[in-house]
Amino acid sequence: MEVRKNLETQDILKMPIISEAISDISTEVISRKSFIPQRCDVFESPCTFLEETDHFEFKIHPEARKQLPDIINNKVQIIRGTDFGDLERKNNYTRKRNIGIVFSGGPAPGGHNVIAGLFDAAKRANPESSVFGFLMGPDGIIENETIELTQDLVDSHRNLGGFSMIKTGRTKIDTQEKMALSSQTLTSLQMDALVVVGGDDSNTNAAFLAQEMYHKKVQIIGVPKTIDGDIQVRDSQANVLCAISFGFHSAAHAFAKSISNLATDCSSDVKYWHVCKVMGRVASHLALETALQCHPNITLIGEDLADYIDHRRIEKAEKENTVDYTAFGMTLRHLSRVLCDAIVRRAAVGKNYGVLVIPEGVLEFINEIQTFIIKLNTIIADYNRIYDIPFHEEFPLLEDKLDYLRRLARMSREKSDFSVWNTRDDDLFNDIPAFFQEGLLTERDAHGNFQFSQVPTEKVLMELVKNYLVILRDEGRYKIGIAESWYKKTMSKSGADPDIYGPLLFNNYGQSEFLMIKPEIISRKTLKQVLENEGMLQENKNVPEPLKKVFEKSVPKFKTQTHFYGYDGRGSDPTWFDCTYTYNLGLTVFSLIANGATGQMATIRNLEHGFDRWEPMGVPIAPMMHLEERKGKLELVLERSIVDVKSTAFQVVKSLREKWLAAVPGKECYRIASPNVLSGNNIEDRPLILKLNSLNG
């Protein structure tokens, strides 16, 4: 007989098969780290130069010209490969440099490869050059917190997600004092250049830093990062200079993967609606891409809702010779009705389950909520301008904040020139649930953005949906369709004639594969009444069991599971697209620095096409800026791009809406998203929205 030894835990841990299996480094990570992203052709040359072009034009905002005079006339610079040529060029290109890099804002898959590309290019040009990482985001610049990046450190993060190598933060360099401290850090460290990897706000910061450091000869280069995908740069002729920010593809892919698992789940146990909120602070690009990758039953696109026109209201108003302003843009209530309609239609064909995708920023596109956001932004900003203690410190509790709003509403009655918060606003605001009031009053981020990730958007919407479904159920309009075959089998099994009861129970008996119980039958009591009225049941008798069974099966329970897809996708490992894109962005950054550029954003043109057409370039940041409301006042910022409802990608999703809703008997259209492999040889090797949008030019 085999004698089993009693092993100590420490001995078990030393066994190679065990230590390998539970090592901190999985086989996936090992293979990822060894992946070598392809380099764009220009980077195969020993040296690069910048070809300035006037081909692209920008409509420059006068305020940008005023505030950013030294970088406003920057041009688009295309990176070209070359030999070293003369000695001067060689010396300049390969001189020893100190380059700093900082991550700013939310993490996005691929950031480590920007560092890797920059590091490799800098060391290739001159092994004596140093690359420093500023720690914890812009705070690292303000407070002079850096580490010098080593080969080992860089190698251990290649092709891996997150920003963990140097961390990130959301601080904005928005005061004279912070700007002076940043300038001091950069000069004291003798930095030749600083690379700001960030979203619209961080690239805005980069432009202001570039202006500040222009005469101090520290170059500043931005890199377009954000999973939200809202940095999409076009010139005034709509030529695409940067089709998408990095991180978008990986995050969307991760969301799609998880959501397609939910589709498999709900179509198996057929009892839940999975409500999936996906990140994207304002723009719905992530929701759109996710929809294309996994075909949920319903995907809301915020930008589409803002464009909504209620033609029935307009017609009615026209007949009455008036104008109905509420006919433009969708209200929260109307949206909940649209969702209910889709849920009811699926239930009618026996599908009381499904997958719903809601973009995080959807409320920004809902009329009345947008108004609240703007009003509250103004109120909080005004308060902070006047008083010493900031609004959120002075009024930490919701009740205190509501009290303050009430005081403002009273003031509006007394002072005719005070209109930002009146009694009607206060009444409407008091009508919404406390958790949502709290969300709307939540602190704005350092850049003045409303923090949608902190607001349970899906809860707000689903509460309205649930309430309305109860009404529809009580009116007999929300019912689960009964498969005719099941009905006949159930009745026949107990000896009842299905054809006798069919016309009494259903309003479409013999006409459809799925039978709808008559609207007047909404309970066992009403079922009994109908049978009695039709002379099929005596008053003192019970409803026959099979009829009860059929009725029970038609009663819908609306059960939801809510999910938030954001931080998980943001922390996912980069796809082949993002690995390759970001590595080449890092190489681009070095080329821009080595050729003296500043105030430029590194981009790669033609991302919507195959890799062999990718074209690295530097795009001027200042000319792309415009004025936007932030913290209640207008500020110069980089313009964000939202979903264009005329785009091919949106139109394709729109045209497939009915198909994906699948409110017909039979199969679902769910699509299982492909795995995240580094071969770059699958149909989703780049964002599907890019593929589609490139078809029209």
Which residues are known catalytic residues? Answer: 228
Nearer to ligand FBP by Cβ, of 425 and 445: the residue is 445
Which tokens in the block code for residue 485? 């075959």
Query: Across-strand partners of 627?
Result: 636
Bridge pairing between strands 219-224 and 600-605: parallel
Which among 104-112, 303-311, 387-395, 688-696 is the span making contact with ligand FBP, rule CB under 6 A? 104-112
Nearer to ligand FBP by Cβ, of 200 and 425: the residue is 200
Based on the shown chain and the rule CB under 6 A, indicate whether residue 204 belongs to the binding site for ligand FBP: no
Based on the shown chain and the rule CB under 6 A, indicate whether residue 226 belongs to the binding site for ligand FBP: yes
CB of 687 to ligand FBP, least distance (A): 16
Q: Which of residues 443-462 bind ligand FBP (CB under 6 A)?
A: 452-453
Q: Is 40 left (phi over 0), alpha (psi -120 to 50) or beta?
A: beta
Q: Helices then strands (H, E): number in the chain?
A: 29, 19
Calculate the dihedral angle through the C-alpha atoms of 432, 438, 443, 445, rounding to the nearest 10 degrees: -70
d(CA 65, CA 601): 18
Integer CA distances (angstroms), 244 to 77, 201, 218, 381, 586, in order: 18, 16, 27, 32, 16
Which among 102-110, 313-321, 517-525, 551-559 is the span making contact with ligand FBP, rule CB under 6 A? 102-110
Q: Whose structure tokens read 């920057």?
A: 74
Choice from 110, 229, 280, 618 touching ligand FBP (CB under 6 A) = 280
Q: Whose structure tokens read 């969708």?
A: 330
d(CA 523, CA 321): 45
Which among 33-41, 65-73, 92-100, 273-281 is the span making contact with ligand FBP, rule CB under 6 A? 273-281
d(CA 574, CA 253): 9
Based on the shown chain and the rule CB under 6 A, indicate whether residue 224 belongs to the binding site for ligand FBP: no
Binding mask 339-368 for ligand FBP (x = CB under 6 A): ---------------------x--------
Nearer to ligand FBP by Cβ, of 348 and 380: the residue is 380
Which among 220-228, 404-412, 484-492, 546-554 is the span making contact with ligand FBP, rule CB under 6 A? 220-228
User: Would you say 643 and 303 are in contact if contact means Cβ atoms under 8 Å apart?
Assistant: yes
Binding mask 141-180 for ligand FBP (x = CB under 6 A): -----------------------------x----------
Choice from 473, 528, 570, 640 touching ligand FBP (CB under 6 A) = 570
SS3 per residue for 266-291: HHHHCCCEEEEEECCCCCCHHHHHHH
Q: Count residues contacting ligand FBP (CB under 6 A)? A: 15
Q: Where are the beta strands (DSSP E) in 395-506?
A: 482-483
Nearer to ligand FBP by Cβ, of 185 and 205: the residue is 205
Based on the shown chain and the rule CB under 6 A, indicate whether residue 228 belongs to the binding site for ligand FBP: yes
**Helix, strand, or coil here: 134?**
strand
Q: At residue 329, what is the residue type? A: G
Based on the shown chain and the rule CB under 6 A, indicate whether residue 468 belongs to the binding site for ligand FBP: no
The residue number with the shortest CB distance to ligand FBP is 105
CB of 447 to ligand FBP, least distance (A): 9
CB of 226 to ligand FBP, least distance (A): 3
Which tokens in the block code for residue 194? 């600083």
Based on the shown chain and the rule CB under 6 A, indicate whether residue 484 belongs to the binding site for ligand FBP: no
Residues with Cβ < 8 Å from 666, sequence gap 6 or more?
Answer: none
Choice from 106, 222, 329, 359 touching ligand FBP (CB under 6 A) = 106
CB of 108 to ligand FBP, least distance (A): 6
d(CA 133, CA 121): 16
Based on the shown chain and the rule CB under 6 A, indicate whether residue 199 belongs to the binding site for ligand FBP: yes
Nearer to ligand FBP by Cβ, of 73 and 454: the residue is 454
Q: Whose structure tokens read 């005023």?
A: 66
CB of 624 to ligand FBP, least distance (A): 16
Given strand 219-224, what is the order of strands in its sheet? Answer: 47-53, 76-82, 615-620, 600-605, 219-224, 193-198, 98-103, 130-134, 146-148
d(CA 374, CA 450): 9
Nearer to ligand FBP by Cβ, of 168 and 591: the residue is 168
Element housing 674 (H / E): none
Based on the shown chain and the rule CB under 6 A, indicate whether residue 574 belongs to the binding site for ligand FBP: no
Selection from 688, 603, 613, 604 nearest residue 647 by Cα: 688
Based on the shown chain and the rule CB under 6 A, indicate whether residue 227 belongs to the binding site for ligand FBP: yes
Integer CA distances (angstroms), 256 to 109, 110, 568, 678, in order: 15, 18, 12, 17
Selection from 114, 153, 253 nearest residue 580 by Cα: 114
CB of 317 to ligand FBP, least distance (A): 37
Based on the shown chain and the rule CB under 6 A, indicate whether residue 279 belongs to the binding site for ligand FBP: yes
Nearer to ligand FBP by Cβ, of 225 and 528: the residue is 225
Q: Whose structure tokens read 């609004």?
A: 391
CB of 73 to ligand FBP, least distance (A): 28
Binding mask 232-261 for ligand FBP (x = CB under 6 A): ------------------------------
Q: DSSP labels for 599-617?
A: SEEEEEETTTS-GGG-EEE
Based on the shown chain and the rule CB under 6 A, indicate whether residue 281 belongs to the binding site for ligand FBP: yes
CB of 63 to ligand FBP, least distance (A): 23
Q: How many angstroms separate the most distant Cα atoms in the chain?
A: 108
Nearer to ligand FBP by Cβ, of 80 and 392: the residue is 392
Residues forming the site for ligand FBP (CB under 6 A): 105-106, 108, 170, 199, 226-228, 279-281, 360, 452-453, 570
